Chain A
């Protein structure tokens, strides 16, 4: 006899969604959060795509703590003196059922955890899960916490304990942890009056902008982002861990460099720093993913490296919410069937494989490496920006050169080999096409 049916470790988006589906299936669920409230330890770029919640919380948009609805998406290519932006906007994204939204994680996660409690899960905060309880067979039978009398047993443990997931590691689900699979995200939340933000970003009401940036991170491979909240901006960079040390560049200096860029500076000028924050991101997608099922244990969200970092797409919370949801369903299935082994929990793997959670990752499995590669980071932006500059520059009395000639010249000038360009293009086409 166990204390409860399901223990969910971590009150982030994965954990709360797992607790919601498991509790709604009639199970006795405890949701354990190490911070003083759900979301207090959590940080991300700033945009969430909640489509997956449609089935879980109907009309979620009427109650979710959203800052702005993203109606404008830009992808920006920066060199030290140039910027090339592809800008798209859709009014459809500013009305139900919406697409993406900016939100603060301490608000978003707290709100989702409220739904877990409403579904009947018991939320325990300020409690760190320090390890797994195991049967002699190795099956997970509960968790150990940092509280007195802190052991709790369960039929299934769902580890949603984030990117550092010590539980997945303790269970041996990660073969190894390699710094090259991670990036460091640092960001600044900058306060500006709403009218100033509206004007600078050409939006009205609660509509907002999502700008993803390639280049602008100096010698450190990575990318940048700039999002609009209601009365703040979120500007930050995502940095390849292994390059950070090698380049001797400090994270906050790289943000400062991005903020000084001529294309960015007018947007963020006079913003008062409200909060500086940092978090590690599991960047490598399928390459680094652990096994997600063991006897009595499921792993979801960042803990399972379910984070999509593919240049133009930066998503994580949606993968966390979906995987958590499926983990809760699979746990309920296993408890009902009385088979708590990995075989009994296999419904989780099936759900992940049949949906975007793993389909997106399979399709884009080579994208993270491509996006963070030295050529994409350091050669192509300059080459592409130069091509654009030549296209738009008027060199009278010289006649306009043809695009093919500009391309050939700029490729050579940037030092890009034709063979590499073709190969990267092919990988990109296979991933994104």
Chain B
């Protein structure tokens, strides 16, 4: 079996604070973390890392940085600067087919939708673990144990085996510092340019927007004035929810806690 190919997806994008200034453009910390994990995993598995970006020639900056950091190959999928996430994913999928693993950042510098990894997993028919905040490589073997952040501060731990698409947050890993020699060579490294592949299954253009069926709704009880007073709550709710008091700090704190408890925001 040939050595596994590990993909790191990088997006070169203008800084939202300086949108017209290339000096401030680059890859997000999350993308950089993805590249670092790709490099670490390649070492674990004895594989090679391919750095991929989609965009015009100016975006090759991130690929050269990736090569300087240790990526074995750099591919730019030629495309315009702004594209649909599904089209970006389709472009990357053309390069990532057959890859053992695909690492993405959870967000780009311009804080887009973060949906490319999901589209990419769908396009590749691969497993996905998105929004990962911790990665442990389970040596030996092709698996990684990852922790996802869920709503409400909950966590989910998954054992992922490739082929898989994993998107990571920026704090997961610090991209290693490129060596001076590697950096100098990378400025003239060759970058493969491949044409953009159109997505295999494009959503049909919507010709008739969704409209819910008409439904008969009964009129509410009571007089309109009564309902209006209930909704705008001239009397009852203010008494229950708000009051202004002057208290010493300890007493004020105690009162706030008591009120919160009374409203059911605190347990017990």
Tell me which of A36, A37, A110, A152 contacts B180 (CB under 8 A): A152
Q: Which of A141-149, A296-304, A325-333 contacts B (4 or more CB under 8 A)?
A: A141-149
Contacts A122-B187, A124-B183, A124-B184: A147 and B23 contacting too (C-beta < 8 A)?
no
Question: Is residue B178 within 8 Å, beta carbon to beta carbon, of the partner chain?
Answer: yes
- Give the residues in chain B near A122, CB-CB below 8 Å: 184, 187
- Tell me whether B111 is interfacial, beta carbon within 8 Å: no
For the complex formed, measure the closest distance between the CB of B217 and the CB atoms of chain A, giving whole angstroms.
53
Does A218 belong to the interface (CB within 8 Å)? Answer: no
Residue numbers in A under 8 Å from B178 (CB-CB) = 147-148
Pick from B23, B176, B180, B187: contact of A150, CB below 8 A: B180
Contact with B along A72-113 (1 / 0, CB 8 A): 000000000000000000000000000000000010001000
Please provide the chain B residues from 166 to 196 with a CB less than 8 Å away from any CB of chain A in the complex: 176-184, 187
Task: Report B57-84 CB contacts with A as 1/0, cut-off 8 Å.
Answer: 0000000000000000000000000000
Q: Are B183 and A147 in contact (CB under 8 A)?
A: yes
Give A146 to B182 CA distance when docked, in angstroms.
Answer: 14
Asked if B177 contacts A147 (CB within 8 A), the reply is yes
Write the nearest CB–CB distance from A11 to chain B, whole angstroms.
Answer: 12
A148 touches B177 (CB 8 A): yes
Q: Which residues of B contact A151 (CB under 8 A)?
A: 180
Q: Write out, one digit per residue, whether chain A residues 131-160 have a CB within 8 A of any chain B CB (1) or not (0).
A: 000000000000001111111100000000
* Bound-state Cα–Cα, A148 to B180, Å: 6
The distance from the CB of B15 to the nearest CB of chain A, in whole angstroms, is 11
Q: Does A30 contact B (CB under 8 A)?
A: yes
Indicate which residue in A30, A36, A124, A127 contacts B23 across the interface (CB closer than 8 Å). A36
Q: Report chain B residues within 8 Å CB of A36.
A: 23
How many Å lie between the Cα of A358 and that of B105 in the bound state?
A: 54
CB of A106 within 8 A of CB of B23, answer yes
Contact A149–B180 (Cβ < 8 Å): yes
Which residue of chain A lies nearest to B26 when distances are taken between CB atoms in the complex? A36
Contact partner of B179 among A37, A110, A150, CB < 8 A?
A: A150
* Chain B residues closer than 8 Å to A148, beta-carbon distance: 176-180
Q: A152 vs B176: C-alpha distance in the bound complex, in angstroms? A: 20
**A146 contacts across to B, CB distance below 8 A:** 177
CB contacts (< 8 Å) of A37 on chain B: these are 23
B184 engages A149 (CB within 8 Å): no
Instruction: Please tell me if the beta carbons of B184 and A110 are within 8 angstroms of each other in the complex.
Output: no
Name the interface residues of A261-295: CB closer than 8 Å to any CB of B. Answer: none
Which B7-62 residues have a C-beta within 8 angstroms of A?
A: 23
A124 to B, closest residue via Cβ: B183
Q: How far is the CB of B29 from chain A (nearest CB, A)?
A: 14
Q: Are A149 and B23 in contact (CB under 8 A)?
A: no
Contact A147 B184 (CB under 8 A): no
| A127-B187 contact in complex given A37-B23, A110-B23, C-beta closer than 8 Å | no
A123 nearest CB neighbor, chain B only: B187
A205 to chain B, nearest CB (A): 23
Q: Which of A146-202 contact B (CB under 8 A)?
A: 146-152
Q: A325 vs B94: C-alpha distance in the bound complex, in angstroms?
A: 49
- A150: chain B residues at CB < 8 Å are 179-180
CA of A37 to CA of B25, assembled, Å:
11
Tell me how far the C-beta of A117 lies from the nearest C-beta in chain B, rounded to whole angstroms: 10
- With A36-B23, A106-B23 already in contact, the answer to whether A147 and B187 are too (CB < 8 A) is no
A37-B21 Cα distance, complex, nearest whole Å? 12
Q: A152 — which chain B residues lie within 8 A by C-beta? A: 180
A145→B184 CA distance, assembly (Å) = 13
Closest Cβ–Cβ distance, residue A423 to chain B (whole Å): 50
B46 to chain A, nearest CB (A): 22
Contact A30 B184 (CB under 8 A): yes
Chain B residue at minimum C-beta to C-beta distance from A144: B180
A173 to B199, CA, bound (A): 64
A297 to B137, CA, bound (A): 48
Measured CB to CB, the closest approach of chain B to A224, in angstroms, equals 30
Q: Is the CB of B23 within 8 A of A145?
A: no
Q: Chain A residues near B176: list those with CB within 8 A.
A: 148
Distance in angstroms from A97 CB to nearest chain B CB is 28
Q: Which residue of chain B is the closest to A127 with respect to CB atoms? A: B180
List A contacts of B187 (CB < 8 A).
122
Cβ distance A130 to chain B, nearest Cβ, rounded Å:
12
Nearest-CB distance from A132 to chain B (Å)? Answer: 15
Q: Nearest-CB distance from B7 to chain A (Å)?
A: 24
User: Whose C-beta in chain A lies nearest to the C-beta of B23?
Assistant: A37
Minimum Cβ distance to chain B for residue A128 (Å): 11
How far, in angstroms, from A267 to B255 measured CA to CA in the complex?
Answer: 52
Chain A: minimal CB distance from B56 (Å): 19
A277 CA / B179 CA spacing, docked (Å): 31
10 residue pairs of the A-B complex, CB under 8 angstroms, read A37-B23, A106-B23, A110-B23, A122-B187, A146-B177, A147-B177, A147-B178, A147-B179, A147-B180, A152-B180
Q: A147-B178, A147-B180, A148-B180 are in contact. List 16 more A-B contacts (CB 8 A).
A: A122-B187, A124-B183, A124-B184, A127-B183, A145-B180, A146-B177, A147-B179, A148-B177, A148-B178, A148-B179, A149-B179, A149-B180, A149-B181, A149-B182, A150-B180, A151-B180
Q: Which 7 A-B pairs have the closest CB atoms?
A: A149-B179, A148-B179, A147-B180, A37-B23, A150-B180, A149-B181, A145-B180
Q: Which residues from chain B sit less than 8 Å from chain A, CB to CB?
A: 23, 176-184, 187
